[in-house]
Amino acid sequence: MKFELLIDELHRSEDELARALLAMADRHRADHETYHVARDLAAWSAGHLRELAPAGKEFGLDLASGLSGEPVSLVREWLGHREPSVLLLADFRYLYRLTAGVSADWELLAQAAQGARRADLLALTQHCHPQTLRQLRWANARLKDSATQPLVS
């Protein structure tokens, strides 16, 4: 089994998602929903990181249990514009794509856990993946909500 590969990539992608959510919250402090919800969702990803660390240890991975590295540096321009509404749209587009990748990683781990009859890893995915799906739904809803004004004006 290649659990170490799955867990390592899932940890990396959750870490990137948490950092992206925190960076987005900081960039859009004036948008209170974005600021507060993004911070709450980042805390979910940070929790997933803490829960993945012991699972990784079993497979020889030394995973940091918290956020690591520098905050993610997202592209601050999209289509050559600098308007706040365009930046918000670009951030939600990036966040949606990133969260979809994290969701796919949880799905892969769940499939492998089922195939190897690893109840512990399956329970981990059943606990964490629904939160990632909620993150994805929020990013998708906000992406749709944020699209009209900057793209037609």
Residue 90 lies in a domain: yes
CATH number at residue 99: 1.20.1260
Q: Determine the structural domain holding residue 19 and report its residue range.
A: 3-60+85-152
**Total domain count, the chain:** 1
Q: Higher pLDDT residue, 147 or 14?
A: 14
Residue 119 lies in a domain: yes
- What residues have CB less than 8 Å from 66, skipping those under 6 apart? 46, 49, 50
Residue 96 lies in a domain: yes
26 has pLDDT over 60:
yes
Is residue 113 very low, low, confident or very high in pLDDT (cuts 50, 70, 90)?
A: very high
Is residue 75 very low, low, confident or very high in pLDDT (cuts 50, 70, 90)?
A: very low
Task: Classify 72 as helix, strand or coil.
Answer: coil
Residue 77 lies in a domain: no
For 121-149, what is the mean pLDDT? 94
71 has pLDDT over 70:
no
74 has pLDDT over 60:
no
Q: Higher pLDDT residue, 89 or 133?
A: 133
Residue 67 lies in a domain: no
User: CB atoms < 10 A from the CB of 103, how many?
Assistant: 17
Q: Rounded to 5, what percent of the chain is helix, strand, coil?
A: 75, 0, 20
